[in-house]
Amino acid sequence: MVFKMIHENYNVSDLGRAMEFYEKALGLTEKHRIDSKDGSFQIVYIGNDESDFELELTWLRDHPQKYNLGECEFHLAFRTDDFEAAHKKHSEMGCICFENPDMGIYFIQDPDGYWLEILPPR
């Protein structure tokens, strides 16, 4: 039996703001979406051509408060081909939330507080 990872879900408070962040910070764009008939939720799957893995962004109309992310001890990781340029871009965006120079990595934080690890090329 084989299992393939296909997506991870993040619930977001403002779908447009989240999509704008992920496109600007990581180049992720909409692949497909599901809109409920009654307007109670929207689900947008974003990704890029580097992988078929997708990030599912879910907006729920009846959840106006911020999501409780606990201690944020979870994250998605992204490897970049140009670590210095990525770091410069994310510094300019003001979204770097933690750096570990000894490990050669850093984390950015999306508008809802989710952490995303940025790794250099292998």
From the list 113, 111, 116, 85, the residue with the least C-alpha distance to 17 is: 111
Domains parsed from the chain with CATH numbers: 7-61+75-119 (3.10.180.10)
Q: For the chain, percent helix, then strand, then coil, each to nearest 5?
A: 20, 40, 45
pTM: 0.91
Give 2's pLDDT tier (boundaries 50, 70, 90).
confident
- pLDDT tens-digit readout, 43-102: 999 999 999 999 999 999 999 888 888 877 788 999 999 999 999 999 999 999 999 999
- CB-CB contact of 42 with 58 (8 Å): yes
From the list 32, 59, 60, the residue with the least C-alpha distance to 47 is: 32
